Structure 1
Amino acid sequence: MGLFEKIFKRPGARSAPEGFFETFTAYTPVFTNWNGKIYESELVRSAINARATHISKLNVKIGGDATPSLAAKLKTGPNEWQTWGQFLYRLSTILDVQNTAFIVPVYDLNWELSGVYPVLPSYCEIIQYDGEPWIRYQFRNGDHAAVELKYCGIMNKFQYSDDFFGESNLALAPTMELIDIQNKGIREGVKSAATFRFMAKVNNFAKPEDLAKERKRFTKENLQGEGGVLLFPNTYSEIQQIKSSPFIADTDQMNFIKQNVFDYFGINEDVLQNKAFGDKWSAFYEGSVEPFAIQFSDVSTKMLFTEQERASGSFLMATANRLQYMSNTEKLNVSAQMADRGIMNRDEIREIWNLEPLPDGQGKAYTIRGEYYLLGADGSVTRKGDDLTSGNQ
């Protein structure tokens, strides 16, 4: 049994579907894997990798009392083959490359939900069967599978014409062509720089046969040996080197190409080179990582829990401790101010510094500096260490 059989245990529709699921836009709800091969570009792959790497560090939490067995399973990982970091990294990569990412449920031998898995179909369509919309997948190896839409998750970007799926990356095609032309220019420039070419005028040869014999002689004696110095007889004149100047984009043009890619994927060079921290990383988080986390949390919560379970407080949420990306000076200032005022306990402050919680619950206590006063809802004021409560002051 392979991965396909392990994931898609649910039986598909046994009879013919009733047709495509009707949408508002009148577009046939079909997703086709875009073969633009943007992931083969070094710059684009670096941009996608930078975003996916930060997204893979999100912390996935399960809340609520619904299906405690599922919560226990998801706490250790999304499925038996991946960690949460690997799952989020691949899901982010698929979303950036295809602008549509599918999450399917994984069931155990007892047909109980045991996890989730990101799939990359080559073709997908939403059909109607027995009055319910189903997603029917087709993969490159020819396998097919169908799962009810309500049990699947669909994440998308650049969603416009289709009610379910995102657009292709065709808008990036002009930039990809510029990148390809630039790379070819660099390769040809390196080849030209390593090649010595010359031209010369040959005297005293009137017949074409004599020129052909001289060309063969010169090639055999100068270009088929172990190398060295080219020797020209006195019958050669006006000898000069042929220099080629291949076109290579200048710095401004290269920066323009890079900026197009960075703008498209929502990153910058500081993030790409791991230089972003503090406010710069917070801006990247809010603009790129957080939207992914919110969409993933909403999509996963909807596919894993029923409406009643969600109403009672069950959820899946992907979060990140943004304070960990501050500079040490900023961390120290936040730690001191939050601890002095009793806003954060010792364990929460230790988390900012990537430290483990204190044993036996010692870090759950809050510390408030002595000169601070607690103003009660009734107007009473209590100073730290005082046993009595005074009136309004």
Structure 2
Amino acid sequence: MKEKRSLFKMIFGTSRQPPQQQTYMQMLNSSPNFYDFSGESYDSDTVRATVDAFARNVGKLKAKHIRRVNGEVRNTNSEIEWLLQVRPNKFMNAYIFYYRLATQYLMSNNVFVWIRRKPGSNDVEGYYPLVSSGVELLDVAGEMVVRFRFYDGKEYLAPYEDIIHLRRFYFNNDMFGESNRKALTPILNLISVTNQGIANAVKTSAFLRGILKFTAMLKPEDMKKQTDKFAEDYLSAANNGGIAATDSKAEYQELKSDPKMIDDRQMSAMESKVHGYFGTNEKIVKSDYSESDWGAYYESMIEPFGLQMALEFTTKTFSGRAQGHGNEILFESNRLQYASNDTKVKIIETLVDRGMMSINQGLEVFNLPPIENGDKRIMSLNFIDAEMANDYQLGKVKSKTAGGGGEEK
């Protein structure tokens, strides 16, 4: 019989932390604890669509491991770059990984990614996003350690230096981003009540409502029996025709139902408040944006998130010595994918002519496949080195003769 393995053991292994003296970290002006907001805000269709729009676009960011040497940027094609571009861990591809980080970033304003390193070395084996019910900062032998409490009751301790920590709404707490609870709950409750009111109004308008007035003297029990019989026959959903019939013993007086429902403008205003809270708008959520709409959204939401990831991934992935040798992680996005064709053509013409873009990079903008030797950069002969401009004007530049020599002009 095949042995069942828990996901917890598959990620963290079976080893336990050695028993050490643990005390809570002393913060300057806040608690060293963070507890995830367990509300149902993600169950709101408005919130979910808004968060999904952000996460879908963050998922398309491309990680690059570069090395800056003497002012020059060199691509490394390292194992770390492969992890971040293809499969950060054994359970997630890169798109799902960044989608998860972006979703957690907006929903709890704190993202925790554990860097799992290979035993006996500092080499990275994988990146694992951790979603826990609570996080506590501990002082173990003078080092900051993070204790995660998961929803199934299990705990795990990890050095803070091995935890990538992204934050949003970073204000009161020394280490953690603020919760969405107080800011988001009121508007979500209002939207929920509005939706329930619309549903109840629809239900109410589908049934007869009124007073059954008896013209003859009846005993209370007979009156109740007649009323229940009338309601069963005519005031239930089974009365598809919406017509009731009475004899001379009773007279039915209909009560007009006039439910008050919120109009589209007011509903749109409430949803707009949710969109604004998450830094977006209806056009982005519905993918109905223009080139300028996308540019504004990218610069205000996606680019800052990518910058924060780049700084945190770099600091936590590489040692101080490796960073000193120029190792760095960047997150790029091809913004030209969302530009109009006219804009793409103009930009490509300008960048290729000046040697700032290769042929394959230009093809990528139009979602075309690369060509052989397309990574070479070409440049128009209409441009010269700025430092040589005066020499050209004064006629001091040497021109090569057909025989390969040169002479002063």
State whether TM-score is above 0.5: yes
3-state SS in 1 of match to 2:256: coil
2:130 matches 1:119: yes
Change (3 A) 1:71 1:335: closer
Is the contact between residue 7 and residue 107 of structure 1 (CA under 8 Å) also seen in structure 2? no
Q: 1:63 aligns with which of 49, 62, 66?
A: 66
1:29 aligns with 2:32: yes
Between 1:260-269 and 1:106-115, the stretch displaced more is 106-115
Aligned-pair CA distance for 1:267: 0.6
> What CA distance in whole angstroms lies between the structure 2 residues aligned with 1:226 and 1:263?
45
Are 1:150 and 2:142 counterparts? no
Structure 1 position 198, deviation (Å): 2.5
* Preserved contact between residue 12 and residue 147 of structure 1 (Cα < 8 Å): no
Give the Cα separation in 2 of the matches to 1:281 and 1:390. Answer: 54
For residue 22 of structure 2, the aligned residue among 18, 25, 39 is 18
1:49 equivalent in structure 2: 52
Matched, 1:231 2:245: yes
Q: Deviations over 1:343-393 (max 9, x none)?
A: 32211211211222212x23413142x6x24245233349xxx8579989x
* Distance apart, 1:75 and its partner CA: 4.3
When residues 97 and 224 of structure 1 are mapped into structure 2, their CA distance, relative to the original with a 3 A threshold, is: closer
Q: 1:86 aligns with which of 96, 107, 114?
A: 96
Name 1:3's counterpart in structure 2: 7
SS of alignment partner, residue 374 of structure 1: coil
Q: Name the SS for the 2:384 alignment partner.
A: strand
Distance 1:219 1:44, change over 3 A: closer
Q: Which residue of 1 aligns with 2:266?
A: 253
How far off is 1:232 after superposition? 1.1
Cα deviation, 1:101-139, whole Å, max 9, x if unaligned, reads 101012456665211111101011010111111001110
- Normalised TM-score (structure 1): 0.89
Q: Report the secondary structure of 2:127's partner residue.
A: strand
1:312 equivalent among 325, 337, 340: 325
Please state whether the residue corresponding to 2:330 is helix, strand or coil: strand
Q: String of CA shifts for 1:213-258, please: whole Å, max 9, x gaps.
A: 4324435665689645422112333x33223233322233222211
| Aligned position for 2:294 | 281
Aligned residues: 384
| Further displaced range: 310-319 or 69-78 | 69-78
Shift of 1:66: 9.0
Q: TM-score, normalised by structure 2?
A: 0.86
Structure 2 counterpart of 1:203: 215
Query: How far does the alpha carbon of each residue in 1:7-47 deviate from its partner, in whole angstroms, 9 at most, with x for none?
Result: 2249554224331112222x221110112221111101111
Whichever residue aligns with residue 236 of structure 1, its letter is A
C-alpha contact (below 8 Å) 1:375/1:381 kept by paired residues: no
| Contact 1:79/1:106 (8 A) holds in 2 | no
Question: What is the alpha-carbon distance in structure 2 between the residues aligned to residue 224 and residue 351 of structure 1?
Answer: 63
Is the 8 Å Cα contact of residues 111 and 166 (structure 2) preserved in structure 1?
yes
Q: 2:359 aligns with which of 346, 363, 366?
A: 346
1:136 matched to 2:150? The reply is no
Contact 1:13 1:129 in 2 (8 A): no
Alpha carbons 1:106, 1:117 under 8 Å: kept: yes
Report the 3-state secondary structure (helix = DSSP H, G, I; strand = E; otherwise coil) of the residue aligned with 2:166. Answer: strand
Aligned pair 1:77/2:81, yes or no? Answer: no
Contact 2:207/2:237 (CA < 8 Å) preserved in 1?
no
| Cα contact 1:9–1:107 (8 A) shared by 2 | no
Deviation at 1:60, TM superposition (A): 1.1
Structure 1 pair 377–36 and aligned structure 2 pair: CA distance change class (3 A): same
Q: Secondary structure at the match of 2:174?
A: coil
2:136 alignment partner AA? E
Distance 1:205 1:166, change over 3 A: same
Tell me the CA shift for residue 146 of structure 1: 0.3
Q: 2:376 aligns with which of 364, 378, 386?
A: 364
Q: Distance in 2 between matches of 1:306 and 1:85?
A: 26
CA–CA separation in structure 1 for the residues paired with 2:238 and 2:305: 60
C-alpha contact 2:400 2:407 (8 A) present in aligned 1: no
User: How far does residue 6 in structure 1 lie from its aligned partner after superposition?
Assistant: 2.7
| Residue 110 of structure 2 is aligned to residue 100 of structure 1 | yes
CA distance in 2 between partners of 1:222 and 1:99 (Å): 54
Amino acid at match of 2:37: W
Q: Which AA in structure 2 matches 1:308? A: R
Residues 2 and 107 of structure 1: is their aligned pair in 2 closer, same or farther, counting only changes over 3 Å? farther
Q: Which residue of 2 aligns with 1:380?
A: 391
Runs of 4+ off more than 6 Å: 223-226, 388-392
Gaps of 5+ in 1: none
Secondary structure of 1:329 counterpart: helix
In structure 2, the CA distance between the partners of 1:367 and 1:23, relative to structure 1 (3 Å rule), is same
Distance 1:254 1:277 in 2: 24
3-state SS of paired residue (1:133) = strand
Asked whether the equivalents of residues 157 and 167 of structure 1 are also in contact (C-alpha less than 8 Å), the reply is: yes
Comparing 7-16 with 167-176, greater Cα deviation is found at 7-16
Are 1:166 and 2:169 an aligned pair? no
Which residue of 1 is the match for residue 71 of structure 2?
none
CA distance in 2 between partners of 1:58 and 1:6 (Å): 28
Counterpart Cα distance in 1 of 2:383 and 2:225 = 105
Unmatched tracts of structure 2, length 5 or more: 68-74, 394-398
Offset, 1:166: 0.6
**Structure-2 residue corresponding to 1:189:** 201
